[in-house]
Amino acid sequence: MTGLFANALISAGLVVAVWSAVQLIANRPIGRSLRVAMWVLELMVLTFAIGGVVQMIMTDHDFAKLEFVGYLLGMCLIPIGALWWTRSDASRAGTAVLLIIGLVTSILVLRVQQVWLGPSA
């Protein structure tokens, strides 16, 4: 949960955010490659969520498991939801949405890690 893949996902979220910021500043619409990056982000989030649930089942350490699963499920909806919301949006607003989604995804990974470590951490 706090390993290499989580760090890769945080980085991927930040890459999407910076990429969107560059597109926003350059006043360019979202574009195919940024959409592909969002799909990659969604796949990584799904992998993270499945891995998280598997690790939760295999561990016997005590933490807020329901909250943990809630965050993981919520996370899965966010990149795909943003792809749907910006599906035909060629405006700067669409690019700004992806910027926020990239940041939110990274923040949520950190939050999931906090929940995993439990209140004593």
- By CB under 8 A, residue 38 contacts another protein: no
According to CB under 8 A, which residues from 56 to 75 bind another protein? Answer: 64, 66-67, 70-71, 73-74
- By CB under 8 A, residue 46 contacts another protein: no
HEC per residue, the chain:
CCCHHHHHHHHHHHHHHHHHHHHHHCCCCCCHHHHHHHHHHHHHHHHHHHHHHHHHHHCCCCCCHHHHHHHHHHHHHHHHHHHHHCCCCCCHHHHHHHHHHHHHHHHHHHHHHHHHHCCCC
- By CB under 8 A, residue 93 contacts another protein: yes
Binding site for another protein (CB under 8 A): 64, 66-67, 70-71, 73-74, 77-78, 81-82, 85-86, 89, 91, 93-94, 96-97, 100-101, 104
